[in-house]
Amino acid sequence: KNTDANLCKDEQGIMRCLGTLEHAALPEETVHPILLPKSSALTRLIVLARCKESGHAGVSQTLANVRKRYWIPQGRATVKRILRRHCMACRRWNAKPFKL
């Protein structure tokens, strides 16, 4: 158990975040989300999958879907960076017009 960052390992050895939602009527995976490193291939794949599931709705919606189960340090900046670099549909949608 790591009390400095409110982290603990569950029975499977997965790092989970402890937070202020302890007594909320929410699913266990939302109350104690899995900690994902901000610069990881697994994090990138999960963010891209949630982006696709949400219909490429943007950073805020994708982040909300990710936070239902996972916690990423500096989440908004991480999701924004992943979508701008790796989601081709979002890149096309948000592209600026060509200028000479």
- Residues 6 or more apart whose Cβ sits within 8 Å of residue 25: none
Indicate if the pLDDT at residue 19 is higher than 60.
yes
Three-state DSSP state, 87: coil
Q: What is the mean pLDDT of the chain?
A: 90
Axis crossing angle, helix 75-86 with helix 41-53, rounded to the nearest 10: 80
Q: Where are the domains of the chain?
A: 1-35, 37-95
Confidence (pTM):
0.86
Indicate if the pLDDT at residue 34 is higher than 60.
yes
Rounded average pLDDT over 23-35:
87
Please give the single-letter amino acid code of residue 36.
Answer: L
pLDDT score recorded for residue 30: 85
Rounded CA gap, 86 and 92, in Å? 11
